[in-house]
Amino acid sequence: MLRCITVDKETLIASNCDKENTKRLSQEKQLLCPNCQSTVIFKPGKIKRSHFAHYESECVVTNYEPETASHLQGKQVLYDWLNKKFPAADVEYEVYIPETNQIADIFVEHTDEGMEGIRWAFEFQHSPLSSVEWETRHNHYKSAGIQDFWVLDKDKYVKFSKARDITDARNRNDLEKKIFNEIGLCYFLDLETTELTIDFKFTTSWHTTIVKGVRRRNEYTYHSPIHHSTHMDKVQVRMNDEFQHGVLVYPEIEKQMEEKLSWILAKLRGERSRKEKQELQDRAKEKMKFAKEKYGKEKTEVIWRFMELNIEELSDYELDLSEEENIKELTNDVLQLSEEEFFIKYETLFEKLQRNLGEFIALKDSKDLVKRLIKNVTYETQIFSMSFLSDQGNSSLEDYLKGIHKEKIDVVTYVYTTYSSELEKLASMNFRAIKRDLDKIIPIITPWESKPTIVDFAIGYKRLESREAADEHIKQVKEKIIDYNPFADMDDW
């Protein structure tokens, strides 16, 4: 490790401390691990960089990468670069993060204007690490609201194909592929040149090679462009304002990275949407648990269906401004109001909804023409709609639906009273025999029932916009079906 504290809580950095004084403190066992408070010893650099090491054991907080010379050097390069790029930020070596139970190689906490509260963890990976272990550590950082940057040792992780006559084709291992697929980018640090390589786009191509006289066609992976490295001094952090998410870039390839940056932004939005939906589901379930205890199972099921239909509608349907505002208000209330506050606010609306459902069931069982019509043109899900309930006001469900569908009611009742004899004749005919002829006139008016009644035929006229259109249709029905005589022309023989 490159950082320790004294028993007096003074922080020491191995690369720039007073070596003689630090040696003395080490001999007196006055140096402690800042994370687990165990005794550490000072190892001044001769072959390896100066560093601190636990006295008799590994750190008890967590297992982290062994302090090889390469690991120490990689951390030093990143630390120096971060201090130079972000002089106003708090940049520290080897910080234990309680939320994740991990030690970050470099931890950055921003305090300057515009970036307050943003936290980064930089990890330099030299030793082997499984993709499963990386994913676990990455998810711990994400859950704590810390963006993690994983920089792999280029000497260990960037490998090229050794196939004959093949150059620049990459052999990618599980870890770098996992990071690339999850993050969208993968970073590699060359400790000899202090250059950073940024992977952001791969292509594949097929090449034919001859091995011991046998032709073989193999697929190879290349980075596009081939040259995508620069000195750390030129590397910048590009921040997205919407998510305060940073990526490492440098000027020469920034334009070529735009497509990948758009992909990263889309992924962040998708993750946010899924997180918001899950939070909404969790808060809604809490309210349903409360409702079940207060109202019982039956009413709770109605409330749950109301919430499901309206919250889904926000993303699945195109809404006008007032509908969208109603649904956004409901969504915010589910998220922010306590259970008691929520049901006080919506209790009157839920009572209206239950009355509507009772009336709607009665409409289903009615033989009255108008009631059957308004039931026929109304989906049950409509009466759960926030905008429907709001517009209904204090009207009964039947009166409100009559007002909405008064033009349909006018046309249907007109046909029913004016042409009852014609409808009776249609109802008395073999429907299978006349259905094709009815469809030839206006198919959308034809009843869907297998044995339609007079009322069923009348309700079909709900699709016409005027009495005149109904008159014209009945005229054709009479000519082509009711009064049609297939033997009318037989006298000519």
Place of tokens 């007109």: 414
Q: Which of 227, 256, 285 is the last residue of a domain?
A: 256
Question: Where does the pLDDT of residue 320 fall: very low under 50, low under 70, confident under 90, or very high at 90 and above?
Answer: low
Classify residue 225: in a domain, yes or no. yes
Neighbours of 220 (CB within 10 A): 19
Residues 202 and 297 in one domain: no
Q: Give the torsion through C-alpha atoms of 395, 397, 403, 408, to 10 deg.
A: -170
Cα 247 from Cα 250, distance rounded (Å): 10
Model confidence at 492: pLDDT above 80: no
The answer to whether residue 200 sits within a structural domain is yes
Of 77-91, 157-171, 250-264, minimum mean pLDDT range: 157-171
Band of pLDDT at residue 159, cut at 50, 70 and 90: very high
477 and 361 in a single domain? The answer is no
453 and 341 housed in the same domain: no
Between CA 164 and CA 101 the distance in angstroms is: 47
Helix H or strand E segment including 52: strand 51-54
One domain, residues 111 and 230: yes
- Give the distance from CA 440 to its chain's centroid: 48
Is residue 49 in some structural domain?
no
Q: Are residues 126 and 212 in the same domain?
A: yes
Half-sphere exposure of residue 309: CA atoms within 13 angstroms, side-chain side: 16
Closest CA to 34 of 106, 82, 103, 90: 103
Cβ atoms of 456 and 447 within 8 Å: the answer is yes
Mean pLDDT of 448-462: 95
Same domain, 250 and 288: no
Averaged pLDDT for residues 35-51:
79
Q: Does residue 24 lie in a domain region?
A: no
pLDDT (mean) for 187-198: 97
Choice between 394 and 101, residue whose per-residue pLDDT is larger: 394
Q: What pLDDT is stored for residue 309 in this prediction?
A: 87
CA 134, 138, 140: angle at the middle one, nearest 5? Answer: 120
**In this prediction, what percent of the chain has a pLDDT beyond 90?**
69
Residue 306 near residue 287, CB atoms below 8 Å: no
Pair (163, 208) in one structural domain: yes
Beta-bridged to residue 186, according to DSSP, are: 199
Q: Answer yes or no: is pLDDT of 325 > 90.
A: no
Residues 177, 74: one domain?
yes
pLDDT in tens, 260-310: 999 999 999 999 999 998 999 999 999 999 999 999 999 999 999 999 888
- Same domain (yes/no): 252, 107: yes
Residue 170 counted as domain residue: yes
Assess whether the previous peptide bond of 225 is cis (omega < 30° from 0): yes
| Residues 343 and 289 grouped into a single domain | yes
Instruction: Using the 3D structure, point to which of 221, 256, 291 is the last residue of a domain.
Output: 256
pLDDT at position 32? 86
**Residue 180's pLDDT is what?**
98
Q: Report if residue 25 sits inside a domain.
A: no
**Residue carrying the six token digits 């939070």:** 279
Which pLDDT band, with edges at 50, 70 and 90, does 1 fall under? confident
Is residue 198 within a helix (H) or strand (E), and if so which, with residue range?
Answer: strand 195-199
Tens-place pLDDT, residues 197-213? 999 999 999 988 777 77
Q: Sign of the CA dihedral 77, 78, 81, 84?
A: negative
Give the residue numbers spanning the domain of 134: 62-256
- pLDDT tens readout for residues 374-414: 999 999 999 999 889 989 999 999 999 999 999 999 999 99
The reply to whether 233 and 182 lie within a common domain is yes
Residue 37 lies in a domain: no
Alpha-carbon dihedral of residues 124, 125, 130, 136, nearest 10 degrees?
Answer: -10
What is the arithmetic mean of pLDDT over 244-251? Answer: 97
User: How many Å from the N-terminal Cα to the C-terminal Cα in the chain?
Assistant: 114
pLDDT at residue number 315: 46
Mean pLDDT of the chain: 90
Would you state the structure tokens that stand for residue 461, as one six-digit string?
């006229």
Query: How many structural domains are present in the chain?
Result: 3
Write down the pLDDT at residue 314: 47
pLDDT of residue 474 exceeding 70 = yes
Q: What is the pTM of this model?
A: 0.70
Distance of CA 32 to the CA centre of its chain: 44
Helices (H), 86-235: 131-143, 154-157, 174-183
Higher pLDDT, 459 or 27: 459
- Determine, yes or no, domain membership for 172: yes
| Same domain for 289 and 234 | no
